[in-house]
Chains A and B, each alone.
Chain A
Amino acid sequence: MADRRGDFGRRGEDAACAYLLRHGYSIVERNYRCRRGEIDIIAAKDGGAVFVEVKTRRSLKFGTPGMAVTYAKQQKIRTAALHYLQQCGGGYNKIAFDVIEIVADDGKAKLRHLQNCF
Chain B
Amino acid sequence: MYAKTFGETVCGINGEEIIVEVDISNGLPGFDIVGLPDTAVKESRERVRASLKNSGLMFPMTRITVNLAPADLRKDGSSLDLPIAVGILTAAGSLLQEEAEGKIFVGELALDGSIRQVAGVLPMILYAREHGWREIYIPQGNAAEGELVDGIDVYTPASLSELVSHLKKRERLTPLPKIQFGTGTAGCGDVDFAEVRGQQVVKRALEIAAAGGHNVLMVGAPGSGKTMLARRLPTILPPMTEDEILEITKIYSIAGLLNGKKQLVLERPFRSPHHTVSASALIGGGSVPKPGEVTLSHNGVLFLDELPEFSRQALEVLRQPLEDGVVTISRVQASLSFPARLILITAQNPCPCGFLGDKVHSCTCRPHEIERYRRKISGPLLDRIDIQVTVPRLEYDDLKDKTEGESSAVIRSRVVKARGVQRKRFEGSGVHCNAQMNKKQLNKYCKLEPQAEAMLGKYFAALGLSARTHDRIVKVARTIADLEGSAAIKAAHIAEAIQLRTSVQR
Chain B residue nearest to A112 in the complex (CB): B26
Counting chain B CB atoms within 10 Å of each CB, the highest count among A66, A69, A116 belongs to: A66
Minimum CB–CB distance from A25 to chain B (whole Å) comes to: 18
Cβ of A17 < 8 Å from any Cβ of B? no
Expressed in whole angstroms, the Cα–Cα distance for A48 and B26 within the complex equals: 20
* Whole-angstrom CA separation of A114 from B30 in the bound complex: 13
Write out, one digit per residue, whether chain B residues 1-42 have a CB within 8 A of any chain A CB (1) or not (0): 000000000000000000000000011110000000000000
B61 near A114 (CB under 8 angstroms)?
A: no
Q: Which residues in chain A, 36-72, are within 8 Å of chain B measured between CB atoms?
A: 63-64, 66-67, 69
Give the shortest distance, in Å, between A103 (CB) and chain B (any CB).
11
Residues of A within 8 A of B29 (CB): 63-64, 66-67
The interface residues of chain A lying within 8 Å CB-to-CB of B28 are 66-67, 69, 99, 114, 117-118
For residue B63, give the distance in angstroms from its CB to the closest CB of chain A.
Answer: 9
- B residues 398-437 near A (Cβ < 8 Å) are none
Residue of B nearest to A115 (CB): B26
A63 to B61: give the CA distance in the assembly, Å.
8
Inter-chain contact A64/B26, CB cutoff 8 Å: no
Interface size range on A against B: 10 to 19
**Do A116 and B61 touch across chains, with their CB atoms under 8 A apart?**
no
Min CB gap B25→A, angstroms:
10
- Flag if A66 contacts B61 (CB, 8 Å): yes
Residues of chain B within 8 A of A63, CB atoms compared: 29, 61
CB-CB under 8 A from B61, the residues of chain A are 63-64, 66-67
Q: Which residues of B contact A67 (CB under 8 A)?
A: 28-29, 61
Residues in A71-117 with C-beta less than 8 Å from chain B: 99, 114-117
Give the residue name and chain of the A residue nearest to B61 (CB).
A64
A20 to B226, CA, bound (A): 87
Q: CA–CA, A66 to B63, complex, Å?
A: 11
Bound-state Cα–Cα, A67 to B61, Å:
9
Bound Cα distance from A114 to B27, whole angstroms: 5
In the bound complex, CA of A67 to CA of B26 (Å): 13
B30 to chain A, nearest CB (A): 9
Measured CB to CB, the closest approach of chain A to B486, in angstroms, equals 80
Binary contact track B196-212/A, C-beta < 8 Å → 1, others 0: 00000000000000000
Which residues of the partner chain B approach A117 to less than 8 Å between Cβ atoms?
A: 27-28
Could you tell me the distance between the alpha carbons of A61 and B28 in the complex, rounded to whole angstroms? Answer: 17
Q: Which residues of chain B have C-beta atoms less than 8 A from A114's C-beta?
A: 26-28
How far, in angstroms, from A114 to B480 measured CA to CA in the complex? 81
CB distance from A74 to the nearest CB of B (A): 8
A118 to B27, CA, bound (A): 9
A69 to B63, CA, bound (A): 13
In whole Å, how far is B453's beta carbon from the nearest beta carbon of chain A? 82
**In the complex, residue of chain B having the shortest beta-carbon distance to the beta carbon of A64:** B61
Question: Bound state CA distance, A32 and B473, in angstroms?
Answer: 91
Give the CA-CA distance A66 to B29 in the complex, in Å.
7
* A residues in contact with B26, CB < 8 Å: 114-115
* Chain B proximity of A55: nearest CB distance (Å): 10
Q: Which among B26, B27, B28 has the highest number of chain A CB atoms within 10 Å? A: B28
Interface residues in B215-250 by Cβ distance below 8 A to A read none
Residues of B within 8 A of A66 (CB): 28-29, 61
Residue of B nearest to A67 (CB): B29
Q: For residue A118, which residue of chain B has the nearest CB?
A: B28
CA distance A97 to B26 in the complex (A): 13
Measured between beta carbons, the chain B residues less than 8 angstroms from A99 are 28
B26 CB, nearest partner CB in chain A, Å: 6
CA distance A99 to B29 in the complex (A): 11
Shortest distance from the beta carbon of B396 to any chain A beta carbon, whole Å: 82
| Cβ–Cβ < 8 Å partners of A116 in chain B | 27
A117 to B26 CA separation, bound complex (whole angstroms): 8
A69 and B28 CA atoms in complex are apart in Å by 8
Nearest-Cβ distance from residue A113 to partner chain B, whole angstroms? 9
Considering the chains assembled together, what is the distance between the CA atoms of A114 and B61 in angstroms?
12
Q: Which residue of B lies closest to A66 (CB)?
A: B28
Bound CA–CA A118/B61 (angstroms): 16
Distance, CA A61 to CA B138, complexed state (A)? 34
Nearest CB in chain B to that of A113: its residue: B26
B27 — which chain A residues lie within 8 A by C-beta?
A: 114, 116-117
Q: Within 8 Å CB of A118, what residues of B? A: 28
Tell me, rounded to whole Å, the shortest Cβ–Cβ distance linking A97 to chain B.
Answer: 10
Chain B minimum-CB-distance residue to A53: B28
Give the most central of A99, A114, A118: most B CB within 10 Å: A114
The smallest beta-carbon distance between B283 and chain A, in angstroms, is 45
CB distance from A56 to the nearest CB of B (A): 16
CA distance A66 to B30 in the complex (A): 10
Distance of B191 from chain A, by nearest CB (Å): 62
CB distance from B399 to the nearest CB of A (A): 77
A63–B30 CA distance with the chains assembled, in angstroms: 12
A interface footprint on B327-365 (CB within 8 Å = 1, 0 otherwise)? 000000000000000000000000000000000000000
Inter-chain CA distance A103–B460, complex, in Å, is 92
CB distance from B49 to the nearest CB of A (A): 11
Q: How far is the CA of A69 from the CA of B61 in the complex (A)?
A: 13
Q: How far is the CA of A97 from the CA of B61 in the complex (A)?
A: 19
The answer for the CA separation of A67 and B31 in the assembled complex, in Å, is 12
Known pairs A64-B61, A66-B61. 11 more at Cβ < 8 A? Answer: A63-B61, A64-B29, A66-B29, A67-B28, A67-B29, A67-B61, A114-B26, A114-B27, A115-B26, A116-B27, A118-B28
Interface, chain B (partner A; CB < 8 A): 26-29, 61
What are 10 of the A-B contact pairs (CB < 8 Å)? A64-B29, A64-B61, A66-B28, A66-B61, A67-B29, A67-B61, A69-B28, A99-B28, A116-B27, A117-B28
The 3 closest A-B pairs by CB, nearest first: A64-B61, A117-B28, A66-B28
Chain A residues in the interface with B (C-beta under 8 A)? 63-64, 66-67, 69, 99, 114-118
